[in-house]
Amino acid sequence: MQTHKKSEKGQAIILIVFAIIGLIGLTGLTVDGGLVYSDRRQAQNAADSAAFAAALAYSRNLDFSKSSKAAEGAARTNGYNNDATPNTVKVTPAPAPDACLQPPRNGWEFTVVITSQVNTTFSTVVGIQQVTNIVTAKTLACDTYVAPMFNGNAIVSLAPSGKGFDATGNPNWTITGGGIFSNSVSSNSVYCNGSTNLSAPSISTVGNVALGCNATITNGIATGGTQYTWDMYKSQLPPTPDCTGTATFSNGQWHPAANTVGTNIGSNVALNGTMNFSSGLYCVTNNPGNGHYSGAITGTGVTFYVPNSNFTIKFNGGNNSSFNAEAPTGGDYAGILLYVEPQVTNGVLQNTGSIDLRGNGSTNTVGTILAPSADITMFGNSSSAGLINSQIIGYQVDTGGSANIKLEYHSDDNFQTAQPITISLLK
């Protein structure tokens, strides 16, 4: 009896077919997986941009409909046009009352969800026609609030380099209510030496400190901060007055032009000798110069605005040469005692002026000295009487010789301005 061996022809073809299917599957996993990953990364970038765009639009006009349109526009720019077939873009604003804590204020969260359909190529062989990517981004916009400039530091130097705060010699500095800030990148941006005694709540600087003196800094020293540029703080400055009025003198006192109190119209006046001012906004028309000012300037509820680019005034602190005045408590110039117009060239703050301030036992100076382009030299005042309640903002701040300098800064008595809405990415 003859037996026939079963033929194995064709089995190899079947194995090859399965192998090809497996290879196509692996190829699909590699190629299509790369496409899906690339789309997911692009969609996440688009969602992040859209969430930021929504928060930014809200910060500019507080309009939620414009926020949604801004987010959709940002997503469209990044390739996601919300046409429902290959992708959708959903923007959801929601109140976040407990999210903004420093200081407490209202906040809004903007959530952007992008859903994207990615068509496959090789993976269709194994039945995968499409892959869905879903990505989410969320931003937080914290509303504006009113606060002192430069984080409420009592002494602020805006010089970009060099010694911003210089306590050379043997002065005794006692600063309360706010710290020292220097915008300088230098290694000695905050400097003291010798027998100087320096007491302050804090020091913060862009550069570093060189404290070769007896320094007591209660809350520590922070270095390596972000340097302010002119564009970063110019919007926080008070408005430039319209100096079209003329001050008049009657009954032993200078008065602003009629019907200008509480407005942004300043009354022109030249500082000369002893002068007492009634409440109002005054535009200083002269430059007293380098000699000691001869006379006492007094007043309550007053702001002195100086447009002069090279303004220089020096008080020696005696009764015949003193600045003993208080800033207004309301209006656009609330808390500003002296405002010297900044001098800026090509977006860079210039150093053009000079101010000497000195107290005495009867001093009661209240209000911000805002002179970003001036060197401000602080002389002594009594350690037991008198008061300088000011935020000192200058190009550089230093000490004149031996002095007891007592600065008691109270933010409520000084200039405060609207701080911008802050935006942060949460997810």
User: Which tokens is 417 given?
Assistant: 């301005």
The pLDDT of residue 129 is: 77
Domain annotation covers residue 265: yes
Domain annotation covers residue 235: yes
pLDDT over 70 (residue 10) = no
Residue 149 to residue 236: CA distance in whole angstroms: 7
Domain annotation covers residue 427: no
The pLDDT of residue 205 is: 98
Instruction: Read off the pLDDT band of 355 (50, 70, 90).
Output: very high
Residues 246 and 217 in one domain: yes
The pLDDT of residue 420 is: 81
Last residue of a domain, one of 90, 122, 143: 143
pLDDT over 50 (residue 361) = no
Count the Cβ atoms, other than its own, within 10 Å of residue 11.
Answer: 9
Residue 304 to residue 214: CA distance in whole angstroms: 36
In tens, the pLDDT along 390-425 reads 999 999 999 866 668 889 999 999 999 988 888 888
Residues 29 and 55 in one domain: yes
The pLDDT of residue 63 is: 74
The pLDDT of residue 179 is: 97
- Kindly state the percentage of the chain with pLDDT values over 70: 86
Q: Which amino acid, one-letter code, is at 7?
A: S
Cα angle, residue 23 at apex, residues 8 and 19 outer, rounded to 5°: 10
Domain annotation covers residue 19: yes
Residues 104 and 181 in one domain: no
Mean pLDDT of 356-362: 64
The pLDDT of residue 262 is: 78
Last residue of a domain, one of 128, 143, 158: 143
Instruction: Read off the pLDDT band of 126 (50, 70, 90).
Output: low
pLDDT over 90 (residue 21) = no
In tens, the pLDDT along 196-235 reads 899 999 999 999 999 999 999 999 999 999 999 999 999 9
Is 2 or 179 the better-scoring residue by pLDDT? 179
pLDDT over 80 (residue 308) = yes
Residues 232 and 334 in one domain: yes
Instruction: Read off the pLDDT band of 298 (50, 70, 90).
Output: very high
- Residue 111 C-alpha from the chain's centroid: 26
Mean pLDDT of 82-107: 86
* Mean pLDDT, all residues of the chain: 87
pLDDT over 70 (residue 8) = no
Residue 246 to residue 257: CA distance in whole angstroms: 5
Instruction: Read off the pLDDT band of 382 (50, 70, 90).
Output: very low
In tens, the pLDDT along 245-254 reads 999 999 999 9
Domain annotation covers residue 319: yes
The DSSP letter of residue 382 is -
Residues 190 and 209 in one domain: yes
pLDDT over 50 (residue 385) = no
The DSSP letter of residue 420 is P
Domain annotation covers residue 425: no
The pLDDT of residue 37 is: 84
Mean pLDDT of 360-383: 79
Range of the domain at 413: 148-419
Q: Which amino acid, one-letter code, is at 175?
A: I
The pLDDT of residue 130 is: 83
User: Which tokens is 79 given?
Assistant: 């390739």
The pLDDT of residue 319 is: 60
Mean pLDDT of 50-62: 87
The DSSP letter of residue 139 is E
Residue 327 to residue 178: CA distance in whole angstroms: 19
Residues 385 and 412 in one domain: yes
In tens, the pLDDT along 34-43 reads 788 888 899 9
Residues 132 and 224 in one domain: no
Domain annotation covers residue 4: no
Residue 260 to residue 244: CA distance in whole angstroms: 10
Domain annotation covers residue 2: no
Last residue of a domain, one of 89, 108, 143: 143
Nearest to 330 by CA among 306, 298, 370, 301: 301
H runs (alpha helix) in 255-334: none
User: Which tokens is 50 given?
Assistant: 């859209």
Q: Can you give the three-state secondary structure of 313-356, one letter per residue?
A: EECCCCCCEEEEEECCCCCCCCCEEEEECCCEECCEECCCEEEE
Which residues lie below 8 Å from residue 14, measured CB to CB, with a gap of 6+?
none
8 Å CB contact between 404 and 383: yes
Residues 109 and 189 in one domain: no
Residues 65 and 201 in one domain: no
Residues 138 and 155 in one domain: no
How many domains does the chain contain in total?
Answer: 2
Mean pLDDT of 110-118: 93
Mean pLDDT of 72-77: 93
Residues 216 and 99 in one domain: no
Distance (Å) of CA 221 to CA 204, 228, 296, 320, 409 = 6, 18, 38, 39, 19
Listed range (12-26, 149-163, 168-182) with the worst mean pLDDT: 12-26
Residues 77 and 169 in one domain: no
